[in-house]
Structure 1
Amino acid sequence: MISDVDTTISLHLNNEAQFLCFTLSDDSNNDAELYGINIFKIREIIYYDGDVTETMGGNDSMMLGFLTIRGESVPLIDINRWLHYDPNNPHRDLSDASIQSEENLVIVCEFSSYVVGLKIFAIKRIVHKSWGDVSVGDRQGFGAGAKVSAITRFEQDRVIQILDVERMLVDTFPDLQELDYLKARFVEAIKSDKLIFIAEDSQVAMKSLEKIVENLHLKYESFPDGKALLKRLFEDNMIDQVGAIITDLEMPIISGFEVLKRIKEDARTKHLPVIINSSMSSESNKQLADSLHADGFVIKSHPNEIQELLHAYLQV
C-alpha cells in the first residue's frame, strides 16, 4: 500500500496525504498522545526480534543501537527519548523516557538518502487527510523545540502531532548538519537582485536552505507552507521581483505539488523556475514533478545541486 504509484499520484494531485498514526505508550483508555509520519517516508513496519547492537551513547542517547535488516545495518531511535531530548541539556538521562514495550515495533523510514528505524509502542491506523485539514504545528502550540511540524485531527476529539523527522535525524546525528553547513560554505556567489521564495514546514530543513541561499549572496523570503508562499507571490508587483522558488512537497494547508501546479498553470508565473526540495525521493514523486513541469528535483538539502540549479536560472 505504501509503495502504490497510482495512490501516490492521486494523493499529490488532490492535495492530500496519508499519515501513519501511532502511540508511544498504551492507549487502551484513549488517553495516549497520538503521533504521525507521512507514509511516503516509510519503507516498512516490522516486529524486530533480532539482536540490537548497542551503541556507546548510554542513557543520554536517543539511539538504542543498530538493527540488522536483510544484511543492512540500520540505526534504531527511540522516538519518546527524542521527544524528551533537550539540546540545551544534551547529557540528560533519557532512560526514564524509553518506550516501555517488550517487543521492538519498528517503523523503518527512508528519507533524505538515509534509512533509520524508529521504535514505537503501537500503531493506530493510516489516516487519510487533505492538506487543507493539516495545520502548521507551532501555530497551535505544539511546535516547541521544532519537533512537531504540523497537527491534524484523529476522528473528532483527538489530535495527531506530525513529527519533524528531519529534526529527529539532525538531533540524533548532529554531525550531518555540520557537514551540510560546511558544504554550503563552499559555493560560488550568484550576482542577482531577484528574490528566492522558500516554502518548507521543517524548521531544521528551512534553516539549511536559508544558509545555502545566504552563502550564494541571494535575498530570500521564507514561508511555512504553500498557501503563504502563493499569497505573497500573487501580491501586486511581486512576481517580477522573484527569480526562483524552492519548495518542499510535504507541507500543511497547500502541498508543494499544489504550489508547483498553480504556478505552472498560471500565465503570469509559469516562467518562474520551481525547484522541488524533498526528502521523499521515490521515482513516482520525481515523475509527477516532471509532468507538472518542475525545473529541478533535489534530495533535501544538497547544497551543490541547489547551487547549480540557481546558477543556471539566475546568473546573468
Structure 2
Amino acid sequence: MISDIDRTTSLHLNNEVQFLCFTLDKDNHSELYAMNVFKIREIIYYNGDFTETVGENDGMMIGFLTVRGESIPLIDMRRWLHYSSQEPKRDLRPYSIDSQKSLVVICNFSNYTVGIKILSVKRIIQRNWSEVSVGSEYGLDGSSKVTATTKYDDGSVIQILDVERMIADVFPMFDNFSNLNLQSLEIIHSDKIILLAEDSKSAAKSLQKIIEKLGLKYFTFPNGKMLLDYVFSEASIDHIGAIITDLEMPVISGFEVLKSIKENPQTKDIAVIVNSSMSSDSNKQMAHTLHADGFITKSNGDEIEELLRKFLAH
C-alpha cells in the first residue's frame, strides 16, 4: 500500500503528503499517531526470534530482528514516547506495546534502517500541508516528540511524530556523529545570511551547529510558509546567501518552497539546497526538476560546506 513512491512524490507538487496513521494502545479511544509514508520501506508482522541487546533490555530498543538476512534494530514506539532524557536509566518495560504479534514498520531515513514496533494501523491518510499544524498550536511544549498535528476524519487529533528525534534518543552515538565531523569544517568568509527551514528540532539543532562552525549567520524557520513570508517581505534579498530546506514540513512543504523561490524572477537566483532524510531517487529527481541547486542527506556537514562555499563565492 506504500509502494507507489513516484505517485506519492507527485503529491508534493500540490503541497500534499501521505501519513501512515497508527495506534499504540488497545483502548478504543487511544491516541492517534502518524509518520510520513516516505520514510517507510515496508510494514510486516514479525514472528521470528529477536536478538536481544547486550545488557539490560529495559530501554527503548527491544533488540534486533532479521528480515531477509538483514539485521535491523527494533524500537518500541510506546517505550520511546515515555522516555525522558532527564531519566535516561528509567525502566521502560511497563510501557511496552501489549500485543501477541509484532507489527513492525521498517523505515529508511538519514542513511539508517530501523524497525518500529506499533500496535495497529488505522490507514494511510492524505492531507494538504496547509492542513498540518505545527505542534505548538495544540500546546505541545518545546521538548515534545511531536513535530506537528493534523485531524482524522472524525475530527480527532493525529500527532505526527519526530522520528529523527527518536533516532537521536535511541542511538545518541549517531546524533553525535555529525558533531565529530564538525572538526573538518572550515570557516567560510561571507556576510550573507543562510535561511534554514526545518520542523524537527533535533535536525534543526544539528544543522545550526554546522552553519555556526562555518562561521555563517543564519535564520531558522519551523516551516516553509514562515521562510517564504520572510523572503518575500524583504525589500532587498541581496543579503540572502542560500536557503537550506527540509522536504516534509507543516503548512508549506520544502518542494513548495523550492517552486516558489525558483518561479519568481526576483528570487530565482537564490541557491536552494534540499536537506532531507528522504533521499530516494524519486525525491532527488523531483528536486532536480524543480531546479534545486543541491540535494544532501540530512545534515551532512561536508556536503553542506562544499555547496555553501560554492554558492557564497559568487
Q: TM-score category by the smaller chain?
A: over 0.9
Report the Cα distance in structure 2 between the residues aligned to 1:34 and 1:107, rounded to whole angstroms: 16
Report the Cα distance in structure 2 between the residues aligned to 1:230 and 1:192, rounded to whole angstroms: 22
Report the Cα distance in structure 1 between the residues aligned to 2:233 and 2:297, rounded to whole angstroms: 30
- Asked if structure 2 preserves the Cα contact closer than 8 Å seen for 1:196 and 1:242, the reply is yes
Report the secondary structure of 2:64's partner residue: strand
What's the CA shift for 1:238?
4.2
Letter in 1 for 2:7: T
Report the secondary structure of 1:246's partner residue: strand
Residue in 2 that maps onto 1:206:
204
Report the Cα distance in structure 2 between the residues aligned to 1:19 and 1:57, rounded to whole angstroms: 35
- Asked if structure 2 preserves the Cα contact closer than 8 Å seen for 1:49 and 1:104, the reply is yes
Report the Cα distance in structure 2 between the residues aligned to 1:300 and 1:58, rounded to whole angstroms: 31
TM-score, structure 1 length as denominator?
Answer: 0.97
Residue in 2 that maps onto 1:165:
163
Residue in 2 that maps onto 1:69:
67
Matched, 1:308 2:273: no
Unaligned runs of 5+ in 2: none
Letter in 2 for 1:204: S
Letter in 1 for 2:288: D
Matches within 5 A, 1:94-113: 94-113=92-111
Matched, 1:8 2:5: no
- Asked if structure 2 preserves the Cα contact closer than 8 Å seen for 1:166 and 1:204, the reply is yes
Deviations 1:220-253 (A, max 9, x none): 0000000000001111334111000000000000
Residue in 2 that maps onto 1:182:
180
Unaligned runs of 5+ in 1: none
Matches within 5 A, 1:10-159: 10-27=10-27, 29=28, 31-56=29-54, 58-159=56-157
Report the Cα distance in structure 2 between the residues aligned to 1:57 and 1:34, rounded to whole angstroms: 33
Report the secondary structure of 2:212's partner residue: helix
What's the CA shift for 1:177?
1.4
Report the secondary structure of 1:239's partner residue: coil
Q: Size of the alignment, in residue pairs?
A: 314
Report the secondary structure of 1:234's partner residue: helix
With over 3 angstroms needed to count, the CA separation of the structure-2 counterparts of 1:64 and 1:142, relative to structure 1, is same
- Asked if structure 1 preserves the Cα contact closer than 8 Å seen for 2:8 and 2:18, the reply is no
What's the CA shift for 1:57?
5.1
Letter in 2 for 1:213: I
Matched, 1:266 2:264: yes
Percent of aligned pairs with the same residue?
Answer: 59
Report the Cα distance in structure 2 between the residues aligned to 1:239 and 1:156, rounded to whole angstroms: 44
Report the Cα distance in structure 2 between the residues aligned to 1:188 and 1:32, rounded to whole angstroms: 49
